[in-house]
Amino acid sequence: MGEAMSPEAVAALLGLDEPVGAREPRWNVAPGTEIGAALNLRPRRLEDVWWGLAPVWAQRRLVNARVESLAGAGRGGLRGALAARRCVVVADGFYEWRRQDGVSVPWLMTMPDGAPFMMAGLWDVARGPDGGEQRTCAIITRPALGVVAELHERMPVILPPGEAGAEAREVWLTPGRLEPEVALAVLEDVRGAQALLARRVGMKVNDARNEGAELVGPPEAGAEPAPAPASKGKRKKKPSKQLGLFGKGKGNGKE
């Protein structure tokens, strides 16, 4: 979390009704931990929700929710969340991996100016370890675009930048129920996804127990940098078994 993720910037981006308090930077956010999100509730505030949706009908926690499932006839429970329980997760970057010479090589995805961005999500309430209620969430994913497509087959649904993003956010965070078709239309704008840049980072991010700003620095001395992914004209690489933030296996981001 750099200057771009200041409390003031996050509050403005999410259109919050309440100020954001001081928060510790996080550089290696993994599923099964709390992440910052705005829910479609009033007053709108930045809340810590458990990353791993736990609806009563699911046999396991859902880290991601495919937009194709929301649009289809299946997963009625997710359709219910789409209609009534939507959220926006804020971050200023996320990681993906590409397999190279038998090694999972991490890349960091950010906006060109390093500004925070909004990822569309769904939330629900589950029973927490202490017996109380716990809000949980999943990030909605779509087929990868741009530089991400060179690293992984899927990516988060990112709301567009600028005024278009503010308009999409307000529709997505409409309190209460929203017609699924109206909600899905918000997710069709891909300008946010196409704006992302990718850069190589060090191998320490591969262990979710590691934290600190050094994780987003250049690769360690002696590490071989991978060629920068390109969004056009190259054959898609075979996904790594370590699929990162928006696929199977361990995944992490930064906020």
We report the CATH number of the domain holding residue 32 as 3.90.1680.10
Tally of domains within the chain: 1
The reported pLDDT for the residue numbered 127 is 73
The reported pLDDT for the residue numbered 40 is 98
The reported pLDDT for the residue numbered 229 is 62
The reported pLDDT for the residue numbered 1 is 43
52 closest CA partner among 65, 41, 39, 40: 65
Residue 64 and residue 246 in contact, taking contact as beta carbons nearer than 8 Å: yes
User: What residues contact 48, with CB distance under 8 A and at least 6 apart?
Assistant: 34, 35, 36, 37
SS3 31: coil
**Residue-range definition of the domain harbouring residue 118:** 3-254
Give the C-alpha separation, 62 to 44, whole Å. 24
The reported pLDDT for the residue numbered 254 is 58
Residue 110 and residue 160 in contact, taking contact as beta carbons nearer than 8 Å: no
- Phi, then psi, of 63 in degrees rounded to 5: -75, -35
Provide the residue type at 23 as one letter: R
Residue 99 and residue 240 in contact, taking contact as beta carbons nearer than 8 Å: yes
Residue 29 per-residue DSSP state: B
The reported pLDDT for the residue numbered 72 is 67
Residue 115 and residue 4 in contact, taking contact as beta carbons nearer than 8 Å: yes
Q: Tokens 């509730």 identify what position? A: 41
The reported pLDDT for the residue numbered 224 is 53
The reported pLDDT for the residue numbered 159 is 97
Q: Which residues of 178-189 are buried (b: 16+ CB within 10 A; e: fewer)?
A: beeeebeebbeb
User: What residues contact 128, with CB distance under 8 A and at least 6 apart?
Assistant: 134
Give the C-alpha separation, 130 to 147, whole Å. 42
The residues of the chain scoring below 50 in pLDDT are 1-2, 75, 222, 225, 233-251
The reported pLDDT for the residue numbered 80 is 85
The reported pLDDT for the residue numbered 235 is 42
